[in-house]
Structure 1
Amino acid sequence: MSFVLRRVRDNLWSGRLDIFPEDRVAHGFSARQGGVSEAPFDTLNMALHVGDDPAHVWENRVRYMHALGLDPARICSVRQVHGTKIVRVTHRDAGRGARDYADAVADADALITDDCGVSLMLCFADCVPVLLYDPVRHAGGVVHAGREGTLRRIAAKTAARMTEEFGTDPRDLLAGIGPSISAACYTVGGADAEKFRAAFPDHTAEILVEKDGEIHLDLWAANRIQLAEAGVPADQIDCADTCTACERTWFYSYRASGGRTGRLAAVMKLR
């Protein structure tokens, strides 16, 4: 299993995880090159909520979605709030949040569907994108797993919701963890560390590492662990192992930029 960042058009790049079958599901993680946004959002900012010119964001979305062979008008996105609300969407939701942030699905952090008529899209800049695909029921989901969402096990809850909605057996799920901040670049305070110790008591050593007097939080490990505990086989969980803070030439990093920057997109559409 591996992550590949490839040029899809001109100076436009997209990452993919080879765990997902290309003939069944289109997916991608946008990079930051090839767009029209100006600093500090330069250049392929995919988010409408960060202060960028909405016309620039729409042009960026058009360029990226077309490079994936997808219709930007069929995007369904959300107003992310670092919670655990999971919303099932269909072709009737296509276009929500595509051009207008106010029209996006309200206050949610995961979208799931078994409908080929809609493209799921969430935005990230250090938080963890988790993609889920059930090849048996032909259903998928995109999850925004930041510190709070990971702590509250939104990835595992999304897998469980797919079972409720589609009859998904977690043992069939393919899971991918996209570019996001690594433990090496992500330090947290003692209070946050204690929350993770309490939430993952059997895996503290994997999730929290003390180095040079600082506590480093491994969100990749925490998401892998919760998905495995939810029943997803370990060999069906792929990770990009790509740090947005280390690789900020290629990706957006909220922490590395001081809090003002663009967002990459994680996209999934069933074929």
Structure 2
Amino acid sequence: MTAELIPTLAPDFGDLPSGTWAVQSTREGGVSTGPWHSLNLALHTGDDPEHVAENRYRLEHSLGIAEPVAWPRQVHGTRVIRAEDLLEAWEQDEVLEADAVFTDAPGVVCAVQTADCLPVVLATDDGEAVAVAHAGWRGLADGVLEAAVEALRIMRPEAEIRAWMGAAIGPEAFEVGPEVRDTFLDHDVEAAPAFRAGPNGHFHADIYALARHRLERVDVVQVTGGGRCTYSEAGRFYSYRRDGETGRMGTLAWIGHLDED
């Protein structure tokens, strides 16, 4: 029987190396109701756990994923963890904290959840390793992308790294206080163009531009994707800033082919 296709975003051909696969789910295609309507993938949002389990099953079945997905407990930090370690902990009924997941094992699926924060897929150009990072502004400022890049380079020191960005809150909607701008500029004054003056001393922040800049500083020069706004596309994406109580999308990445039934 053919699995029902779940709507997803995916890199364009050539965005990631051959043999590397990635998707970001939308809020469409699930069974959740109320503020979590409909494909909420997160257990920590107040949604019915049975609905979340069904949603995860539907997405995984649609993608041909037969093994457990490595979901971390995200804390807006910079910890990067191997997917296999997450899965081993899961077998012991433990979920480890991390905001980026990586692997060089074919068919092992790395994942993060977002609802305005930026998901970034990183892959070595030889198609031998992949990572996915959850980059909210705190983690982005503190270096979660750089940490994920370093994890891949330790495994594949001769490889170049490419990046693809999924949907996140757009600059027109992402209004931040001056302390957020100051945090980024304290790291690097060249981040200033990513902030535009807004009302009441606040700023509009371009999280896509901030991520590109941080990646370019560690020599990740092929960065694609981005440009979608989770806040403004209410029928397509969850947005925590827009709705408060809401669901989460998932961004999944893996190398090699998944099992097909």
Report the TM-score, using the length of structure 1 for normalisation.
0.86
CA distance in 1, matches of 2:252, 2:8: 10
Aligned to 1:193: 181
Q: Which residue matches 1:36?
A: 31
Which of 156, 170, 181 aligns to 1:182? It is 170
Aligned to 1:209: 196
How many residue pairs end up in the alignment?
251
Q: Find the counterpart in structure 2 of residue 3 from structure 1.
A: none
- % identity of equivalent residues: 31
SS state at 1:185 partner: coil
- One-letter amino acid of the structure 2 residue matched with residue 241 of structure 1: G
Residue 161 of structure 1 aligns to a residue in which SS? Answer: helix
* Corresponding residue SS for 1:184: coil
Task: Give the equivalent residue in structure 2 for 1:246.
Answer: 232
Q: Which runs of 5 or more residues in structure 2 are unaligned?
A: 257-261
Residue 50 (structure 2) pairs with residue 55 (structure 1): yes
Residues 97 and 46 of structure 1, relative CA distance in 2, 3 Å threshold = farther
Equivalent-residue separation in structure 2 for 1:108 and 1:253 (angstroms): 21
TM-score with structure 2 setting the length: 0.90
Distance 2:149 2:158 in 1: 8
Query: Matches of 2:187 and 2:206 in 1, distance apart?
Result: 14
Find runs of 4+ consecutive structure 1 residues off by over 3 angstroms: 92-98, 211-214
Q: Is the 8 A contact 2:43 2:52 kept in 1?
A: yes
The one of 56, 61, 64 aligned to 1:69: 64
Amino acid at match of 1:37: S
Is the CA contact (8 Å cut-off) linking 1:75 and 1:95 kept in structure 2?
Answer: no
Q: 1:103 aligns with which of 78, 87, 94?
A: 94
Structure-to-structure mapping, 1:76-95, within 5 angstroms: 76-90=70-84, 93-94=86-87
CA RMSD across the alignment: 2.0
3-state SS of paired residue (2:122): strand
Structure 2 CA distance for aligned equivalents of residues 193 and 232 of structure 1: 23
> 2:137 maps to what in 1?
147
User: Alpha-carbon deviation of 1:244?
Assistant: 0.2
Q: How far did residue 94 of structure 1 move?
A: 3.8
Residue aligning to 2:151: 161
Query: Residues 96 and 270 (structure 1 numbering): CA distance in 2 closer, same or farther, change over 3 Å?
Result: farther
Q: 1:93 to 1:79 in 2, by over 3 A?
A: closer
Is 1:135 the counterpart of 2:131 in the alignment?
Answer: no
Q: Which has the higher strand share?
A: 1
The answer to whether the 8 A contact 2:71-2:86 is kept is: no
Give, in angstroms, the shift of residue 103 of structure 1: 2.7
Stretches of structure 1 that go unaligned for 5 or more consecutive residues are: 1-7
